[in-house]
């Protein structure tokens, strides 16, 4: 019965995606087919080398892509360095813990040596995030390319990022402004199957949300924060370098690290989806693929609205 329900849900989602308006006609699966045919191979090679040295970078590369797209669209604005008269996104409080910039730099340098001025930093981010997910055990999804890089990056714009204390209703509303469904939002939250968070983002949950926090985990997190302060970290789930469905099963056990994690199980608006993903990893992977395809097309720059940077850290 449940397998039939999953198949029905997938069919409904496919029909909905097919009927949705195409907002990113400029993108193409073979955009670099003639101008830089080995672009994806270069990205995959550098990401592979990086993850062999530090598997935790998978979470970092996925997070970089998300933090880029959610602020002014997928335009690599998160990669730009601050200048004397402007504080860029990467130096905003919400982005202070971002990592992986050096991996993107290495990819861009390798591409510039082969195809100067061709592959955008925004496409590099999208491809690197996809490859990081795959190499961590997650699903493959095609990444259409052709994004252009933005020329604006302001720390003030990071208010668009979802804070860690939002409840499910607020998350649905926020993601909805970008065209995501509740299922997209819960699936993308499943990206927290990778990585860690700082105590600054969950210490309030430890102090005030005992009713929805496993007592043993609360004790462990409390000790971690007491010893290391706001900069101390804890993993989102027990397999933090593996892309799997454990994140959702831990929400069922009230072991969600952030308020915005655990609310997905506590809220009747999203509990069904958490249970579905916890029971059926394949369906989670499918829904995550669909969410990433949508995210990669947010507010794209086209024509004169963007450029292809020579260095991802500065505008041309």
Alpha-helical segments (H) within the chain:
2-19, 39-53, 57-69, 101-114, 121-135, 168-176, 182-189, 199-208, 215-228, 246-252, 259-266, 271-279, 281-295
Q: Is 112 annotated as a binding residue?
A: no
Number of other CB atoms surrounding residue 310 within 10 Å: 15
Q: Is 209 annotated as a binding residue?
A: no
- Grouping H, G, I as helix, E, B as strand and the rest as coil, residue 28 is strand
Q: Is 37 annotated as a binding residue?
A: no
CA 251, chain centre distance (Å): 19
The token pair at 260 is 């915005």
Secondary-structure percent of the chain, ordered helix, strand, coil, rounded to 5: 60, 5, 40
* Burial group, residue 16, by CB count within 10 angstroms (0-12, 13-18, 19+): exposed
How many distinct helices (H) and strands (E) make up the chain? 13, 2
Number of other CB atoms surrounding residue 84 within 10 Å: 4
Catalytic positions, written as ranges: 67
Q: Is 315 annotated as a binding residue?
A: no
Q: Is 214 annotated as a binding residue?
A: no
Q: Is 68 annotated as a binding residue?
A: yes
Q: Is 237 annotated as a binding residue?
A: yes
Q: Is 163 annotated as a binding residue?
A: no
Of 205, 171, 204, nearest to 188 by C-alpha is 171
Q: Is 164 annotated as a binding residue?
A: no
d(CA 67, CA 15): 29
75 and 309 Cβ atoms separated by less than 8 Å: no
Residue ranges of the annotated binding site for substrate are 162
Residue ranges of the annotated binding site for heme b are 192
Residue ranges of the annotated binding site for Ca(2+) are 68, 71, 73, 75, 77, 89, 193, 237, 244
Residue ranges of the annotated binding site are 68, 71, 73, 75, 77, 89, 162, 192-193, 237, 244
């Amino acid at each position: 019965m449940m397998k039939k329900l999953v198949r029905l849900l997938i069919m409904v989602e496919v029909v909905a995606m097919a009927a949705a308006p195409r907002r990113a006609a400029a993108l193409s699966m073979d955009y670099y087919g003639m101008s830089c045919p080995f672009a994806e191979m270069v990205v995959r090679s550098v990401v592979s080398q990086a993850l062999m040295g530090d598997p935790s970078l998978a979470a970092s590369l996925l997070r970089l892509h998300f933090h880029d797209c959610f602020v002014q669209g997928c335009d690599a604005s998160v990669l730009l360095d601050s200048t004397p008269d402007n504080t860029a996104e990467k130096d905003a409080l919400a982005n202070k813990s971002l990592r992986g910039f050096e991996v993107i730099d290495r990819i861009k340098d390798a591409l510039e040596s082969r195809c100067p001025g061709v592959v955008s930093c925004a496409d590099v981010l999208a491809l690197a995030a996809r490859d990081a997910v795959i190499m961590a055990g997650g699903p493959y999804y095609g990444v259409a390319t052709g994004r252009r890089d933005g020329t604006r990056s302001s720390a003030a714009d990071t208010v668009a990022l979802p804070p860690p204390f939002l409840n499910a209703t607020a998350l649905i509303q926020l993601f909805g402004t970008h065209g995501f469904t509740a299922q997209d939002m819960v699936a993308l939250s499943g990206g927290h199957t990778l990585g860690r968070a700082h105590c600054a983002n969950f210490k309030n949950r430890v102090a005030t949300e005992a009713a929805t926090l496993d007592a043993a985990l609360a004790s462990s997190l409390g000790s971690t924060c007491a010893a290391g302060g706001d900069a101390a970290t804890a993993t989102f789930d027990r397999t933090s370098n593996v892309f799997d469905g454990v994140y959702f099963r831990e929400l069922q056990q009230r072991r969600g690290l952030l308020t915005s994690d655990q609310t997905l199980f506590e809220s009747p608006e999203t509990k069904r989806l958490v249970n579905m993903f916890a029971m059926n990893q394949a369906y989670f992977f499918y829904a995550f693929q669909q969410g990433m395809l949508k995210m990669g097309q947010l507010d794209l720059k086209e024509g004169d609205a963007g450029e292809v940077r020579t260095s991802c850290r500065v505008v041309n």
